[in-house]
Amino acid sequence: MLALCSALLEKSLKGGMVVVGGLNLGGSIEPVCNASTLVEIAVEKGAAHVLMPISARKQLNELPDDVLKKVTLFYYSDPRDALIKGLAE
């Protein structure tokens, strides 16, 4: 959805960003499992930003400090919020 909206608006998404969280047909956001593992893998692959649902925030308590230093976490509450935070400034 973010890629489609980005193309329609003719604005780029932030570079080096990983987006986590599925959107179902009803428009609600599906829960994220193993959020801390996803962030660790994203950092390992070179991501600088991770955009994830705010509901996954509590799962990130186990993240090591060295991983948190390498990545910027952004949280979204709905698809519109995800698009606004995902667009490059």
Give residue limits of the domains in the chain.
2-86
- Residue 87 near residue 11 (C-beta atoms within 8 A): yes
Distance CA(5)–CA(61), nearest Å, equals: 32
pTM recorded for the entire structure: 0.87
Was domain 2-86 assigned CATH 3.30.230.10? Answer: yes
| DSSP E strand stretches across the chain | 17-19, 49-53, 72-76
- Give 19-54 pLDDT, tens digit per residue: 999 888 787 888 899 999 999 999 999 999 999 999
